[in-house]
Every structure is written in structure tokens, then in C-alpha cells.
Chains A and B, each alone.
Chain A
Amino acid sequence: MFRYSISFIFLLFCSLGYAQEKAMEVPSEEKDSLVYKTAYGLRLGADISKPILASFNGNYTGFELVADYRINKKIYIAAEIGFEEKTSVEEYSNSTSKGNYIRVGFNYNAYDNWLDMNNEIFTGVRYGLGIFDQTLNSYTPNVNSLYFPSESINASITDSGLTAHWTEFIVGIKVETLRNLFVSTSISYKIVLAVNDPENFKTLFAPGFGRIFESGTGFGFNYTISYLIPFTKK
């Protein structure tokens, strides 16, 4: 949690620094025009929180590429593709989910930029699809009895070709730290639309969705660095 707060503060400072720099420089550049143009194009990047998380957590690996394309002043088409592998260690079971996912949707920038700045406070929606395998590595029958205790059973039962469909609601911020280089952080709330469960077991983690809570909901966190390939200025 502290790590996230520090990132957030860091982002704030970046944005402040940038704001001042731009405010001084812009009037001399475009003094004849009242219309400040901003770049339109394809923005490509990666989620750097996942490799960092993987380096601290031996039960997790993940990688995600992100892209968005600006279609008008406020709206961006956005997509993420990625891979995740996670071992869920529970009191009575140990299972591993791994697979690929894609999320597609829109971001809406609710922030009114000064001059030609290009920062965002955005909300977004996504449709997500994950295709994955889940392996039940081992389990201990919950017999709640010390008189006849149960022992851990090595199972190694894999169910392949499982799918999960979900929707996401996202809020986040994006800051242009260097020209065309953006740092973004966002959180998301996810709701399962449909998920395959292994026979006589349950999908505990779906790649792209994360941990599936009892109510069929989940949370996500992204910290991305992306680069804008500008096509045009409007």
C-alpha cells in the first residue's frame, strides 16, 4: 500500500513540474493562436507492476501490454493483452491458474487540460476474456476432526481450456512525464459475467481478472508506462 501511495505522490509531483514548465514555454510558441492542439495517435506500453509483483511473490508471474487510440478530445479506445500464472495457496487446497487474456473497451478523460497539456483523469469500461488452465496441485479434505485427521493428497488434476468473461470499471490517472511518454496508474472493479469451473472444484483465479471473490467480483491494479506514437495534432 505504501508503494502505491509513493507512486501516486511521485505522479503528482511529475504533473506539477510539467505544468509549470509548459505554462512558461507555451505562450511564446503559439502566441497567435487560442487553440492549443494535442497529439492524436497510438499509445503503446506495458504494465510494470506485474513483473515487480512477480519478483516479490514466488507464486505469481505476469506480463501485460497496453494500448490505446484516441478517437476524439475525450474518448480513447483501449485494450490490454497479457499472460498470468498464479498459485492460489489456500488452507485446504493448492491450485495454479495460468493463461492469456484480453481486455477491450473505452477510456473517457474527465480532465480539462491547460493549454496543450495532455494529462488524464479517466474512467473506463472493459470487456475481458481469459482463456486458461487450472491445476489442482494438492488438497486436504476438511474433516474438522482430530480423532481421524486427514492428510494432504497430491492430485495434479488439470482442467484445460477454461474461459472467463467479465466487465471492468476503471478509474485512473495518466501523466505525460516526458514528451509522448506517459505514466499511468489505475484501479478497477470487476464483475464476472461467466466463468468455467473445473469439475468438482472452482476457478479461484482467472488470468486478467485476478482472484475471484465469493460474490463473483474482483479488483485490479495497473501501473503502466506507455509511449505515444503521434499520428496527427488536433
Chain B
Amino acid sequence: MILCTAILSGCEKDDFCTKDPVTPKLVLRFYDANDRDQLKKTERLSIWAAGKDTIPTYRSVALDSVAIPLNTTTIETVYHLKINDFDGNLASNETATLTIQYTPEEEFVSRSCGFRIIFNNVRFSSDTSWIQDFTPAPLTTIDHQNTAHVQIFH
């Protein structure tokens, strides 16, 4: 009886959310514009959304892949991506603007994880800067974070 009661009370909060991530982030991978199968790291990359501070983990870093959150309360997120391929001086910074438009949709996951957001009808646009080209051009859905959503060529 006591054992059973212990089991009973022990089960009250058993299911913690082990799913990570719940809401997918946008995954960008950087490729060489001259050799399009070859990953190419960005030198001194910094990323920030319009009107916000730089994302702490992406502050002047050399990476070939990044995962950045989208604003789930709006239908558009504008990101600025700064690189510096030369010397790290302010004058040689190059900044690109990547605009992501989408239709957010709430999807129930589980008791412990709650609701996540998936992004439908995702459209990307970029100004002409250090980003020479990117894929995909057509609409897409972001509902996972296992592979890159956008390949950026530079």
C-alpha cells in the first residue's frame, strides 16, 4: 500500500519536455560561390535582427552553419549578417540583409512541451551584397531543424 502510494505520488510530474528544439530555428549554411558544393566559413560573422542586439552566440565568429530564431509573433523577420573577410577593421565590414516572410502556425506537441510554432509559406529575400546567391527560391515550410533551410553562396 505504502509502496503503491509512493509510486502514485512519484509519477505526478514524470514527463519533462525532452524534445529539443520544440520550435525550429532557421538553419543557414554557407557555401563557396565559386565551388558550390564546398562549404565556406564566414569570417567574423555577426548576426542581429533589425532593431535588436547581436545574438550573443553569433558575435564575430567563423562558421559555416548557423541556426537563428524567427519572430513567432509577426509574419516577417529581418536579419542583418555582417562579415569581415579582410582585416577586422570597421571600414571593411560587409553587411547583408536577409528578409524572411512566413505564416506562423501553432501545433500541439505534448503536455510537457506545449505548443510549438511551425512556419509555412516561407519566402526569402536578400539585398545584393556579400551574399551572391541563395537557395531555395520557391516557398518552403520550416518544421524541423535537421538540415539547412537556406544555402547561402558567398
A8 with B1: CB separation less than 8 A = yes
Residues of chain A within 8 A of B73, CB atoms compared: 148, 150-151
Q: How far is the CA of A1 from the CA of B1 in the complex (A)?
A: 10
- A36, CB-defined interface residue at 8 Å: no
Q: Which of B11, B23, B111 contacts A143 (CB 8 A)?
A: B23
Determine if B135 is an interface residue (Cβ-Cβ < 8 Å): no
Give the residue of B2, B12, B23 whose beta carbon is less than 8 angstroms from that of A5.
B2
Q: How far is the CA of A170 from the CA of B71 in the complex (A)?
A: 50
Report the separation of the CA atoms of residues A214 and B113 in the bound assembly, to the nearest whole angstrom: 12
Number of interface residues of B (CB under 8 A): 39
* Bound-complex Cα distance A8 to B112 (A): 34
Interface residues of A in 97-151 (CB under 8 A from B): 139-145, 147-148, 150-151
A→B interface (CB under 8 Å): 1, 4-5, 8, 88, 90-93, 139-145, 147-148, 150-151, 187, 200-202, 204, 211, 213-214, 219, 221
Can you show 15 pairs from A to B with CB atoms below 8 A apart?
Answer: A90-B111, A90-B112, A92-B113, A140-B115, A141-B114, A142-B17, A142-B113, A142-B114, A142-B116, A143-B23, A148-B70, A148-B77, A187-B5, A200-B108, A221-B5
6 A-B pairs with least C-beta separation:
A92-B114, A145-B69, A142-B22, A142-B114, A148-B71, A143-B23
